[in-house]
C-alpha cells in the first residue's frame, strides 16, 4: 500500500514569500548602491557647482554667477586655448576657485606688446570683446611656458589678477579642476558668452 505524503502548503508559501522579500531587498539595495555610486561619480569626476568670485571675468561672468564645472573633459583631453577654466592653486589661502581664460599653452612663448598678445612671435587674435590691456605685468617680457604650464587672463583685462602678476603666475595642469561649462542664471553655455562673432567655436575633440 502506497504511503500517503502530505504537502505542507503553508510552509511552502512562507518559503516563497521569504524568497520574494529577500529578492526585493537585494534589488532595493543594489539600486541604492547604484545611486550612491552615480552621485559620487558626478560630484568627484564629472560635474560640480561653484560661483564666480569677483569681477575679473566680466563681461563673460559676473560676481556671484553660479556655474557648472565639467570635470570630466580634462580627464580625456587637454585644455585648449580660450577655454575658461576653473583652478585652485596650491598654497593659496582662500577657499574659492579661480576662474580665468587660457591664452598660452604648454611649451609656448608668450608676450604682450602694444596691447596685442604674441604667441611664438605671432599675434593671437582674441575671440572675446575685451578692453585693450594697459598693464602687461610679467608678460611685458617674453615668457616661456613649461610643459605643464598655462598662461591665463581674466576677460576683464584691466581689472584682473591673473598670470601677468606674480601673485598668480602661470598655472599648472594638475591645478585645473575643470572647464567652466554652464552659467545657470541666465542659462547659457560659457563658451558662447561675450564672443566677438556669432560664429561657433571649433568642435571639441
Cell reading at 148? 605643464
What is the DSSP code string of 51-99? E--SSTTTTTS-TT-EEEEE-SHHHHS---TT-EEEE--TT----SPEE
CA angle 100, 106, 111 (to 5 degrees): 70
Question: Cβ–Cβ contacts within 10 Å for residue 195, how many?
Answer: 16
Would residue 56 show up in a list of annotated catalytic residues for this protein?
yes
Task: Identify the active-site residue in 23, 88, 92, 100.
Answer: 100
Would residue 100 show up in a list of annotated catalytic residues for this protein?
yes
| DSSP type of residue 174 | G
Residues 6+ apart with CB under 8 A from 179: 69, 70, 73, 74, 79, 83, 84, 85, 86
Task: Identify the active-site residue in 16, 20, 56, 92.
Answer: 56
Pairing verdict, β 98-104 and 149-153: antiparallel
Closest to 101 in 3D by CA, of 183, 163, 147: 163
CA angle 127, 130, 131 (to 5 degrees): 145
Active site members: 56, 100
Amino acid at each position: 500500500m502506497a504511503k500517503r505524503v502530505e504537502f505542507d502548503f503553508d510552509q511552502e508559501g512562507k518559503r516563497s514569500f521569504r524568497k520574494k522579500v529577500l529578492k526585493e531587498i537585494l534589488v532595493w539595495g543594489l539600486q541604492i548602491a547604484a545611486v550612491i555610486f552615480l552621485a559620487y561619480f558626478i560630484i568627484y569626476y564629472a560635474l560640480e557647482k561653484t560661483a564666480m568670485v569677483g569681477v575679473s571675468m566680466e563681461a563673460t561672468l559676473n560676481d556671484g554667477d553660479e556655474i557648472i564645472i565639467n570635470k570630466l573633459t580634462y580627464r580625456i583631453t587637454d585644455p585648449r586655448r580660450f577655454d575658461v577654466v576653473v583652478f585652485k592653486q596650491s598654497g593659496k589661502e582662500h577657499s574659492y576657485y579661480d576662474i580665468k581664460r587660457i591664452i598660452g599653452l604648454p611649451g609656448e612663448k608668450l608676450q604682450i606688446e602694444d596691447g596685442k598678445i604674441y604667441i611664438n612671435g605671432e599675434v593671437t587674435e582674441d575671440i572675446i570683446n575685451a578692453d585693450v590691456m594697459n598693464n602687461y605685468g610679467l608678460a611685458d617680457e617674453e615668457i616661456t611656458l613649461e610643459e605643464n604650464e598655462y598662461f591665463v587672463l581674466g576677460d576683464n583685462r584691466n581689472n584682473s589678477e591673473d598670470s601677468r602678476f606674480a601673485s598668480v603666475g602661470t598655472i599648472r595642469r594638475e591645478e585645473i579642476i575643470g572647464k567652466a561649462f554652464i552659467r545657470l542664471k541666465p542659462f547659457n553655455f560659457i563658451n558662447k558668452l561675450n564672443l566677438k562673432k556669432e560664429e561657433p567655436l571649433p568642435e571639441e575633440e
